[in-house]
Amino acid sequence: MIREIVESFQRLHYGRTTFAGLRNYRQITADPFFWQAWRNTLQFTGLALLFGFALPFAVAVVINEFRHAQAYLRVLVYLPVMLPPVAGILLFRNYFMDPTNAGLLNQLLHAAHLPASQWWGAAPSAMPSLVIISTWSNMGGAVLIYLAALQGIPGELYEAAEIDGAGLLKRIWHVTVPQTRTILSLLLMLQIVATMQMFTESFVATGGGPESSTVTVVYLAYNYAFQFSNFNTAEALGVIMFIVLGVFSVLYVRLERRGNEA
């Protein structure tokens, strides 16, 4: 990382490296795609946390209730993770999310008498489509981690809650969530860091389109480096991302410590 920081203040011109100061950073912040990429990245992160953080926990709670079929359900939910990332993304995009009526999801919408969606083929629905693809292909690992945490909760706590008249939702809120708080906090931080670096889904499924609606910060850095051969500018953008994630991680850890002390 030190090398990237140093090179972000340099400029490569006809094989010669010269000191450029803040030129690379000024070039980035003057690029309108820089701000659009940040908006797209934050939109993806927000939607991915809304679905990709809560859904695996809910699935783990449901699977934990099926004692006899639990082994089969664990394998089933982990199957998408076992697929190569590119193959999994293309499978979901072309089979489930085909913008025509041939797509499985559009067929389900048609059966429910709802209008078909353009999914990744239209700017308004492209980013939510990538969130669905990302959640489907990555949630298996989180589900297994949550399951391991759930199975470590003493059964006596649930029995005591039932005696007190707590229903399923109250047992989850007053027993399950507090007992798995450490795992929830850890996975939340890891997921925020991972989603802010999203690249593969956008590169494979949409190519950054339509209308640059799925160009993320990492995708923009890729374009700087490999489309425009401006590696120093790409490294400067990487340094900005590194600083943002570093500041977030420090703030998150401090807030978590204060919460534990309280």
Q: Per residue in 14-41, pLDDT tens?
A: 667 777 788 889 989 999 999 999 999 9
Which ranges in 16-122 belong to alpha helices (H)? Answer: 23-30, 32-52, 54-65, 70-82, 85-91, 104-111
Q: What is the pLDDT along the chain (262 residues), one digit of tens a residue?
A: 777 777 777 777 666 777 778 888 998 999 999 999 999 999 999 999 888 888 999 999 889 888 788 889 999 999 999 999 999 999 988 888 888 777 888 899 888 988 888 898 889 999 999 999 999 888 999 999 999 999 888 888 888 888 888 787 888 888 888 888 888 888 888 899 999 999 999 999 999 989 999 999 999 999 999 988 888 999 999 999 999 999 988 888 887 777 666 5
Structure-block tokens of residue 39: 């908006």
In the chain, % of residues over pLDDT 70: 97
Write out the DSSP string of 65-85.
H-SSSHHHHHHHHHHHHHS-H
- Cβ(5)–Cβ(239) under 8 Å? yes
Ordered by where they begin, the domains of the chain are: 48-216 (1.10.3720.10)
3-class SS at 39? helix
* Residue 13 phi, psi dihedral angles, 5° rounding: -140, 115
Report the DSSP beta bridge partners of residue 17.
12
Question: pTM (2 decimals)?
Answer: 0.88
